[in-house]
Amino acid sequence: MVGDVVSPHSGASIYQQVAAILRARIAQGTYAPGSELPAEKDLVYEMAVGRDSVRDALALLRDEGLIIKRRGHRTRVSEPMVRTRIELSAKTIVAARMPTPEERVEYDVPAGVPMLTINGVPYPSDRYEAFTP
Amino acid sequence: MVGDVVSPHSGASIYQQVAAILRARIAQGTYAPGSELPAEKDLVYEMAVGRDSVRDALALLRDEGLIIKRRGHRTRVSEPMVRTRIELSAKTIVAARMPTPEERVEYDVPAGVPMLTINGVPYPSDRYEAFTP
DNA sequence: GTATATTTGTACGTATGTATA
DNA sequence: TTATACATACGTACAAATATA
């Protein structure tokens, strides 16, 4: 998808346009799972926007669980994880919510990954799912 | 919790310290569910930090589902919602993930609210939960 | 093993836009 | 209409983590 440009007449904000372009590239495999995205400064140059716009766009994709950002190295496209399946008993309530800061540390949950709760007990949803037998 | 201050010697970054202070105030009811937080500019003044630090802190709390930010409105503390319960059948897989941008629009999902998926069908987790009979 | 370069994170400033009151 | 409040977007600088020479 070379030649994508952001436009002030698109209706959407610049960072959302940048996010849409990157999201499309991920969806069509231009940026494959596990591969690296261009550095922020290169995206700033390519898209001809400010760093705020690029960073806001990347934050959006991170919060959607599409990419993994780590200080010191390049941003990568998330890879689907194998999920452990938890068998549900009777009279059980299953819900979802974002992790607390403590849970983020305790379970090593990346940004953009919610918790699946089974009778209130939290499980990182990128590694666990539940099923009824 | 008057007199809270951020410190450069705390080890944590400024915006995380601001977030921790606000999170504590929400937890202990200083900012009750449904009530308004101080305006960003007032937090900037009270905490004696830059606007970035306040905004990054608020974004963190929003992504944890603790507050609701709306343009033109003051930021409010989230109120727990009554959840519709969905009865699970046999051979059903329940998981959680963040919504896509399209789902955010279609289901009117606020930031910081994940989707509960039942056999791949998404439900906003602030309004739905599942149960086994 | 050390030093250097790269990359993202944090933090300040400023200005303008958009939605609401 | 005016004022308020949050959103977007540009800039700059330095810090921290990682990778590389």
pLDDT digits (tens, 9 = 90+) for B5-62: 666 566 789 999 999 999 999 999 999 999 999 999 999 999 999 999 999 999 999 9
Residues in chain A: 133
pLDDT average, residue stretch A98-108:
90
Asked whether A21 and A2 are in contact (CB, 8 A), the reply is no
Say what the pLDDT of residue A74 is.
95
Which residue in A97, A129, A133 is closest to B95 by CB distance?
A129
Most distant CA pair in chain B, distance: 56
Q: Which residues of B86-110 are buried (b: 16+ CB within 10 A; e: fewer)?
A: bebeeebebbbbbbbeebbeeeebb
Token pair recorded at residue B38: 């101080």
Does A9 contact strand D, using a CB cutoff of 7 Å?
no
Chain C positions with an atom below 7 A of a protein C-beta are 6-14, 17-21
Say what the pLDDT of residue B12 is.
85
For residue range A47-67, what is the model confidence (pLDDT) as tens digits? 999 999 999 999 999 999 999
Say whether B97 and A114 touch across the interface (CB within 8 A): yes
**E-state strands within chain A:** 67-70, 73-77, 84-87, 92-97, 115-118, 121-124, 128-132
Say what the pLDDT of residue A12 is.
87
For residue range A21-44, what is the model confidence (pLDDT) as tens digits? 999 999 999 999 999 999 999 999
pLDDT average, residue stretch B105-125:
94
**Cα–Cα distance between B9 and B35 in angstroms, integer?**
32
Q: Closest nt to A50 (CA→C1')?
A: D10
Q: Is the pLDDT of residue B2 over 50?
A: no
For residue range B75-101, what is the model confidence (pLDDT) as tens digits? 999 998 899 999 999 999 999 999 998
Radius of gyration from C-alpha coordinates of chain A: 18
Token pair recorded at residue B43: 């937090």
